[in-house]
Amino acid sequence: MLIIPAIDIKDGKCVRLTRGDFNQKKIYLDNPLDMAIIWRKQNAKMLHIVDLDAALTGEMVNFEKIRQIVINLDIPVQVGGGIRSVDAVKRYLDIGVGRVVIGSAAVSNPKLVEELLKIYRPSKIVVGIDAENGIPKIKGWTESSDLKDYDLALQMKEMGIERVIYTDISRDGMMQGFGYESTKKFAEKAGMKITASGGVTNSEDLRKLDELKPYGVDSVIIGKALYECNFPCQELWYNYEEGINLDHNFSTARQK
């Protein structure tokens, strides 16, 4: 099970939300690049970045912040949040982003997905389905879709999409465990490669997720649980960090 740390960017800072609520925001670091370097030092093999400002406005507000992460790290980065045009996808892929995540646009403008797959390989385009009680939410989770989550997935699958990032919104950022049943039900009906997201809290959740591998769930995005140091393997790193100059180390990493 590939574990993918999440970096959400709002107003240029690294934050975490609770259930996607912008009024329940906690800032972890002022510079998202610093956070990306920490996750890489903790042996992350991939990063998941969301431009929260873009998710609301459709404008690539934090593009430069994301570019700095991509050019300074040696692992794949996937990016989502407000990507609603071919031009936006091109801009991200041109700077070295490994794959882009199409969320709201998959619902409001499915032809965009169709057009993108004529230009790029399916491995470059991922669809993000953020659902609450089986209903996809769009535009920063402020509006609901008329489709069921698995119906949207099957529609995307027919177009040629191979992977979906599935988030159970009711669990996201709650630190109360991930939606095992909802994720399993979705995976069974979708029959696709699936990256689970939302609510993973501890090692036990990871063990339960492992049971969903036969249904196509092969990776998981983890946010708040990593930031709150919920996994024993993180403790050594954070204790070590207390005794060193973070700014110096981040500067050295950038130079490399």
Closest CA to 7 of 44, 59, 51, 45: 51
User: pLDDT of the chain along its 256 residues, tens only?
Assistant: 899 999 999 999 999 876 556 666 788 899 999 999 999 988 899 999 999 999 888 899 999 999 999 999 999 999 999 899 999 999 999 999 999 999 989 999 999 999 999 999 999 999 999 998 888 887 666 677 788 999 999 999 999 999 999 998 876 555 566 888 999 999 999 999 999 998 888 888 989 999 999 999 999 999 888 988 888 666 555 554 444 333 433 333 333 3
> What does the pLDDT read at residue 140?
62
Q: Between vectors from CA 228 to CA 250 and to CA 81, what angle results, nearest 5°?
A: 70
Please list, in sequence order, all residues whose beta carbon lies within 8 angstroms of the beta carbon of residue 62, skipping any fewer than 6 positions away.
Answer: 9, 12, 32, 51, 53, 54
> What does the pLDDT read at residue 137?
84
| DSSP secondary structure, 31-75, as one string | -HHHHHHHHHHTT-S-EEEEEHHHHHHSS-TTHHHHHHHHHH-SS
The residue assigned the tokens 């934090």 is 62
CB 26 within 8 A of CB 14: no
CATH 1.10.287.70 correct for 2-255 = no
> What does the pLDDT read at residue 256?
33
> What does the pLDDT read at residue 254?
32
> What does the pLDDT read at residue 233?
65
> DSSP alpha helices (H): ranges in the chain?
32-41, 52-57, 63-72, 86-94, 104-108, 110-119, 149-159, 180-190, 203-210, 224-227, 235-241, 246-255
Measured between alpha carbons, how far is 47 from 222 in angstroms, rounded to an integer?
Answer: 10
**In sequence order, what are the beta bridge partners of 2?**
219
> What does the pLDDT read at residue 22?
62
Other Cβ atoms less than 10 A from the Cβ of 27: the count is: 11
Q: Where are the domains of the chain?
A: 2-255
Indicate which residues carry an active-site annotation. Answer: 8, 130
Measured between alpha carbons, how far is 177 from 216 in angstroms, rounded to an integer?
Answer: 20
